[in-house]
Every structure is written in structure tokens, then in C-alpha cells.
Structure 1
Amino acid sequence: MALPHFRPLHRGRAFICPSLPSPPISRARSPSNLRVACSAAFPHPKFQRPYTTVLIVPTGVGASIGGFAGDALPVARTLASVADCVISHPNVLNAAMLYWPMPNVLYVEGYALDRFAEGSWALQPVHQNKVGLVLDAGMEEELRIRHLQVADATRASLGLPVVEYIVTDAPLKVETWIDPKCGKSTGRIKHPDSLLRAVQTLVSHSHINAVAVVGRFPDDDIEDMEDYRLGKGVDSLAGVEAIISHLVVKEFQIPCAHAPAVSPIPLSTSLSPRTAAEELGYTFLPCVLAGLSCAPRYVTKKHGSLDGDCMVAGNVDSVMLPADACGGDGALAFARSMTNNKPLIIAVQENETVLDDTPEKFGIEVVKVLNYWEAVGVIAAHKAGVDPKALRREGINHIRCLSMSSSSDRKASLPSSSHDRVHSL
């Protein structure tokens, strides 16, 4: 096939694509100032793979941002407009009665996110999941009806595939407390076997792909909740919520999220905007059902290959988390990754927690930023292939010189077969 012939360009003349009509020349502008876009005639394919970032805000640790009722969701929304894919967890993406659908955000439970970071699990995006609902037998009749109405509302108004529900065969007996050693919230359920039997029944008979759990939580004294309602302190419910979802995900390898059932509390005129989402209605279930309806499925090594259409830890380009919360399994796994595509770890100093798991304590190399404004800028630069330091005054030093002796030592340490293979490329 013969290539089209183009006349040579002449200085002082505008280049007009042959496939496009010549634009009219305005009297107010000279021909030399005209600019004609040729992108339609010569499309430029995108050869870069999608940029993926992980957003982590640990649960129940009093995070300044993300420690309340979905108050880290604006961070996730902003990141989703910059990165091609964002992976985060329910503590970030849930806001009780509120949620925000984002097609390029993957809703991944915390235990599954840790296994993903370690490389033992992969994530398989889906169009939809069949969601089952487990209700605690310890729930009062009125609370049970309220939660069933939420399920029906999401099915009728949002079209969510919430297929069936089951009530546990015994009350779960949820207990919550604050760990006196570190100040984070934790707890337990006295009858975890009842929860697992309920989920097993849904998996076996309803063939669900994801499950929402609603446990009856103890009603705290209003005085004990006052700091949290004012946007201070630690969410006393969050720690045991994570324990419940971890238990289910570890056992069944399916997406799970929890919504606590509590009695309505008196109106407060001094409620913090960051906790207001939890007092809009009677339940925290809407965001959970919305998130689970399209949460990625978990692929383990025993279930199949971790490649193909699955996302693996090696696809992650960056990880963003609070600067004093770097000691979690997932954070350490990402930071100590041995892959060639080791993710950039971004530690946000403004998002303080009750923890003291600093990067220095674990020997983690991170980029420290003051706040999420800066963090998003680092992500944008990293995605563009720009060294984030180049955006700072005096951020770039002189290039370092590598001595020949260092190079010789490195070659000498290579096996002969590897040395030959390198030089044959």
C-alpha cells in the first residue's frame, strides 16, 4: 500500500492536514498565527499500562481523616480522578447512609487487601456480585425490619443484586473495648461459629459471591460517645467490625463488610460533620451493600492462576497511608516488595492516629508529605513519569557518580550464565 505524499513544509506557512478542510482565515489574525489540530487524523495510541494506587486508612485507630463516618471518601474521590485505578477498603469507602459510586475504585476488605499485598491473593474485577445478608439473631424485631427495608430499597431503587438473607442460629454477642496499651478499638464476638454457619448456608444454597453482616452492637452510654460525635477520639465500634469481616473473608475468601446495628441515639446540635453520616437514618447498611455489589472477587493460588484478567500486587504503583500507621501487614508487604515494580510509599503526616508505627521504626523507605493535597500531587507526578522531587525547590541534586570498581564488583558477583545472558541482549 502506497503511503500518501505530503508536500514539504515551508517556513512561514501553516501546515494543514490534507484530510482536513482549510479553516477560514479571519481578517483579525494573520495566517502565520493559525494552529490546526491534527489529533483526529493522527491518533496517538496509549502505550502505558494503567496506573494503580492503594489508599489505606486503618480501622479503629482514631485517624484524623478516615477515622469517622466516611470522612476519607473525599480523598478516594480525588485520587480516583488522578489514578487509573484505586484500591481501598470499607473503612475509607463506607459512609453509613452515604456512598459514592466510582467505577475505577476497587472495594477490598482489609484481610483480603493484606493477602493481596503479600502476593498470595489476586483481585478479579466483576460487573456485579450476588450479595447475601446475615442478620444477628440478637437484633430486636424493629431493628431487623429496618435493615430488611434497606435491603429491599437497594434492590428496588438501585437494582442491587441482594438475593437472600439469613438470621444466625444464636446471638453473636458482640463486645467492644479500647485497647489500653495502644488506644485503638477492638473487641470480640462470643459466638463466631454461629456467624460462620450462617455464611456457609448462604454460600451453599444461595450461591452468593459477597456477604454483608449486621451484628447487634451494645448501646454505649451517650457520654462515652460524646468525643466521637464531636469528631474527636476513636470509633469504639470499628475495631470489632474489622474482626468480624476478617473472620468471614479468611474462611470463605469472598468479599465481606459489616454494618453495626445500634439503637437510635438522641439528637445532637453540636454533631461534627465528619460523624453526621451515621445519624442520617436507622442503619449503616446502604454503603455496605453498594460496595459489595461490585467488589472484586478474591482469587487464591488454590483456586486458580493469579494472572490473566486478575490484578496482582505487582500492578500497584503507589501506596498512600498515614505516616504513623506503617506497621500493618499490607503496608509492610508493599514496602518490602521484591518485584521490579516496587510501589512508591507515600506517608501522610497530617493524618495522625493513636499508633506509633512510623516508617523509621520498620526501616521503610517512604515519601513523606504534609497532607493529602501534597500526596495527590506526588501521585500525579509519579503517574506522569516525573520524579516528585523535581517539583520542589532544590529537590534535585547533582547526579551521582558510580565508580568502575563498584561496577566490577557487581559483575564479579554474578554467576557466569547470568553474566553471559546480560551481555547477549
Structure 2
Amino acid sequence: MALSYSYSYSYSYGRPPPPSNSISRRVYPLPLRLRLRLRRSSFHAQYNKYNPKFRRPYTTVLIVPTGVGASIGGFAGDALPVARALATVADCVISHPNVLNAAMLYWPMPNVLYVEGFALDRFAQGLWALQPVHQNKVGLVLDAGIEEDLRLRHLQVADAARASLGLPIIEYIVTDSPLKIETWFHPKCGNSTGRVKNIDSLLRAVNSLVNHTDVNAIAVVARFPDDDSEDFDSYRQGKGVDLLAGVEAIISHSIVEEFKIPAAHAPANLPFPPSALLSPKSAAEEIGYTFLPCVLAGLSNAPQYVTQPRAFVNGSVVADDVDSVVLPADACGGDATLAFSKSKRPNKPLIITVEENKTVLDDTPNKLGIKTMKVNNYWEAIGVIAAHKAGIDPKSLRKDAIDNLQNPSQLYNPIRDSSTNGKGHYHKVCV
């Protein structure tokens, strides 16, 4: 009986397999030299798998202004799905609490930076940098105007976040006087705004936490008026403008401007009566007693703000790192968008405006002289970003969107060179 010889190797670097039961086939291990070669090739294959791609991370900024009635992002965290989808395409997404907060709901995304709106403006202007962190020590400020039972509910949320999520919430303080929030709509453009009558009381409370504890991020809960107006009912039905949002922005802006640390706000209201007409876009605010959980989760690892350009260090994210900006088509008048559009660097960020996301504003790219790429919806916006990240002209993905290559018109005048004594040597002059 003839015996057949064959070499075989396993993924354990050439160790011989178990003996075969077949007498017609005997399997021998590979020679030592070949086994060593396979080991080296296996190592290089594994090395190449994790080898750097020699491309910097792709960074995009997602903006939905607060209190402007955005069709997507103007309610209770209804732009959060956009952020989640975008985070699977971009390496880093920078967004703000209005996009990432959903009252009792939130979604942790390790490549998303939770940046307060005032800080986002300073970042876009190149004045501040963002320093990612592993965790922040969060302090909680409660409005003295909150009723005792409602205050207890918010403290229980903080304790639950500490015990069940392990969030580092280390101290709380109650303001020395009620903040007295007032809200209204701007008479001209219709966005929500208002004022904090006792803003000094808020800043004193924050100052006490920052200077007497290790706190480096601030969550604020202020008592808002319980409004049963038609505007509030419209908001709950997924229409109109969030009446609370404008003052929420004022509160967080004031803290960040003064103390230059991450901050976010959650309003305190009495529970709303059930409504059969409740919109899914507003439903996240109806499932609990507070809006605080998402704020605590966001602040727990929000980037710190580096406010001195000389202090910008390796690992900080700066405005020049931004590759694209996505925002509603009629909301281009914010400080951050204007700063990105006026960037002096050679590769300006691609500004993508979403037509479907309507607001009460009328700050369009054409009015402001901003060059943007217009898309109909966030589906298209994410596709544009995927192409942009890959180094592909997004227009090449559309039917007949690429025109013939053009040659700029140039006129050339021949000038005789005196050094050639008029023998036909010409200089090219563009006019």
C-alpha cells in the first residue's frame, strides 16, 4: 500500500495535528525553517491589522440651537438619534446639551464630547480648546425655590446616579435665595428667552462649590413656573417652541463664562397631568419626576475647557481639528457657525445645512454669505460626512453632479528679453 505524505500546519504556529486514524495518510509537521517563516508572517499580519492608518481622527460638530423650535432637536432629546448615527461615522462628534439631553433618557457614546453652548462658541472661535477626560467631579446646585418634596426627588436622582451608575457626584448646595425664573418668547423672531432675577445667588452657590470642594463640573436645577398655557400644550404635542429652553441656556452660559468649567441645567417642575395627545418627541420629559439624569451623565465625562492658548496641550481638541459642521439650514447665525465659516485655514470645515430641520429663525446661508453644502435631511448629511471622511467629493455620489474640468481663462503677452537681443525669447505674463 502506497503511503502519501503531506505537510500540514495549524494556527498554533505549526504544531502537528493529532494523529490521523487513516492508514492511507500520514501527516507530518512542517520543517522548522518553514514554521519560523509562518510565525513571522503571522506576526506581521497581526501587526498590520493594528497598524496606524496615518490619518488624523475625523471630527464633526453637530449643532441644533436651543429654544428655536427646531423640528428635530427642539423637544426632549429628539436629535439624540442623529448624534448616535453620526457617532458611528465620525471619529469624534462635538455637540451640546440641547442635542444630547433627553430628560430621564441618555445614551453614552465614548466618541462624543458634551460641550456647553457658550464653550462651543469660544471653541469655534479658536479661543478655547477641549481637553477630554476620564471623569469629572460633579457638584449639584439646587434652587432654594424648589419645594421640599421636589428637592428630595432630585437628591434621590443624584444618589441613584452615584449608586447605580457610579457617577462621581460629590457635593450639593442650595442657593441662598430663590432664583425666580421668568420666561417669555421673543416678540420678533419667536424664540424662547427670559431671565433669572437672582442670578447672583446662583453664581455665589457655584463659587462656594468650586472654591471649597474638588468640583470641576456643575449641574443646576432651577424651579421653573408651572405653565399651563396653550404654548406649553402645543410643545407637548410636538409643535411650537420649548418655553423653558432660552432661560436654561442663560443659566449654563452664565456659569461657564464665569467659572470656565462644564455646566448644564435641568428644570424642576411639578409632574404634568397625563395627555393622550402627547408627542413621542416630548415623551422623555413625562416618564419621571426630574430631567436631571441626562445632565449628570453628560457632565460626568464632559471635556474640560482649556481657556489659555498657551496651555493647549497634546490631546486637546481645537477648532482646526474640525472637519465638518451640521446644523439646520435657517439657523446659521450663531457665533460658532459664523466662526467656522470664517476660518482662515486652507481646509475649512465643510458646513452642511439640513433643510428638513426647520426653526423659527431665518438666518440662512444666502443671507449671511456662508458657503454650505445643502442637504434635505440628516440621512443625506451623514452620507455626505461618510464621503468627506473617505476623501471623496460628495458630489460624485449624485447623478450628473460633476461638470467638466475647467481651465481658468489666462491671457499671455510675449515680451522680448533684452538679453537675447530680440531673438525670440519670451516671458509669460498673466494679466
Could you tell me which amino acid in structure 2 is paired with residue 194 of structure 1? Answer: S
Counterpart CA distance in 2 for 1:170 and 1:42 is: 62
2:381 is the counterpart of 1:375: yes
1:100-139 correspondence runs (5 A): 100-139=107-146
Counterpart CA distance in 2 for 1:80 and 1:163 is: 30
Of the candidates 352, 355, 358, which is equivalent to residue 361 of structure 2? Answer: 355
Distance 1:41 1:72, change over 3 A: closer
CA displacement at 1:207 relative to structure 2: 2.1
Could you tell me which amino acid in structure 1 is paired with residue 55 of structure 2? Answer: Q
Could you tell me which amino acid in structure 1 is paired with residue 365 of structure 2? Answer: P
Of the candidates 148, 160, 163, which is equivalent to residue 153 of structure 1? Answer: 160
- What is the SS of the residue equivalent to 1:87? strand
CA displacement at 1:20 relative to structure 2: 8.5
2:179 is the counterpart of 1:185: no
2:393 is the counterpart of 1:387: yes
- What is the SS of the residue equivalent to 2:281? coil
Of the candidates 170, 174, 184, which is equivalent to residue 163 of structure 1? Answer: 170
Q: How many residues align?
A: 377
Counterpart CA distance in 2 for 1:109 and 1:149 is: 25
Of the candidates 197, 206, 209, which is equivalent to residue 202 of structure 1? Answer: 209
Could you tell me which amino acid in structure 2 is paired with residue 209 of structure 1? Answer: N
| Structure 2: segments with no counterpart, 5+ residues | 1-11, 15-41, 413-431
Of the candidates 266, 273, 284, which is equivalent to residue 259 of structure 1? Answer: 266
Counterpart CA distance in 1 for 2:187 and 2:282 is: 24
2:318 is the counterpart of 1:333: no
Counterpart CA distance in 1 for 2:69 and 2:100 is: 16
Of the candidates 318, 325, 328, which is equivalent to residue 322 of structure 1? Answer: 328
Deviations 1:84-129 (A, max 9, x none): 0000000000000000000000000000000000000000000000
Counterpart CA distance in 2 for 1:68 and 1:165 is: 28
Q: Are the equivalent residues in 1 in contact too, given 2:231–2:240 (CA < 8 A)?
A: no
CA displacement at 1:398 relative to structure 2: 1.1
| Structure 1: segments with no counterpart, 5+ residues | 1-18, 22-36, 407-425
Deviations 1:17-43 (A, max 9, x none): xx988xxxxxxxxxxxxxxx9954754
Distance 1:319 1:149, change over 3 A: same
Of the candidates 246, 268, 289, which is equivalent to residue 275 of structure 2? Answer: 268
Counterpart CA distance in 1 for 2:272 and 2:231 is: 12
Of the candidates 216, 233, 239, which is equivalent to residue 240 of structure 2? Answer: 233
CA displacement at 1:405 relative to structure 2: 5.2
Distance 1:300 1:226, change over 3 A: same
TM-score, normalising length: structure 1: 0.85
Deviations 1:326-352 (A, max 9, x none): 000001001111112310000000000
CA displacement at 1:225 relative to structure 2: 1.4
**Equivalence for 1:245:** 252
Counterpart CA distance in 2 for 1:166 and 1:337 is: 41
Could you tell me which amino acid in structure 2 is paired with residue 99 of structure 1? Answer: Y
Counterpart CA distance in 2 for 1:45 and 1:177 is: 53
Of the candidates 293, 296, 307, which is equivalent to residue 300 of structure 2? Answer: 293
2:71 is the counterpart of 1:64: yes
Counterpart CA distance in 2 for 1:132 and 1:41 is: 44
Identity of aligned residues (%): 72
**Equivalence for 1:86:** 93
- What is the SS of the residue equivalent to 1:338? coil
**Equivalence for 1:7:** none
Could you tell me which amino acid in structure 2 is paired with residue 290 of structure 1? Answer: A
Counterpart CA distance in 2 for 1:283 and 1:223 is: 22
Task: Indicate the structure (1 or 2) with the bigger Cα radius of gyration.
Answer: 2
CA displacement at 1:190 relative to structure 2: 0.3
Could you tell me which amino acid in structure 2 is paired with residue 130 of structure 1? Answer: K
**Equivalence for 2:4:** none
Counterpart CA distance in 1 for 2:60 and 2:196 is: 33
**Equivalence for 1:309:** 315
Structure 1 range deviating more: 224-233 or 154-163: 224-233
CA displacement at 1:244 relative to structure 2: 0.5
TM-score, normalising length: structure 2: 0.84
- What is the SS of the residue equivalent to 2:200? helix
Deviations 1:194-232 (A, max 9, x none): 000000000001121100000000010154311111100
Distance 1:393 1:20, change over 3 A: farther
Counterpart CA distance in 2 for 1:222 and 1:266 is: 13
CA displacement at 1:293 relative to structure 2: 0.3
- What is the SS of the residue equivalent to 1:62? coil
CA displacement at 1:306 relative to structure 2: 2.2
Counterpart CA distance in 2 for 1:316 and 1:267 is: 43
Deviations 1:50-86 (A, max 9, x none): 0000000000000000000000000000000000000
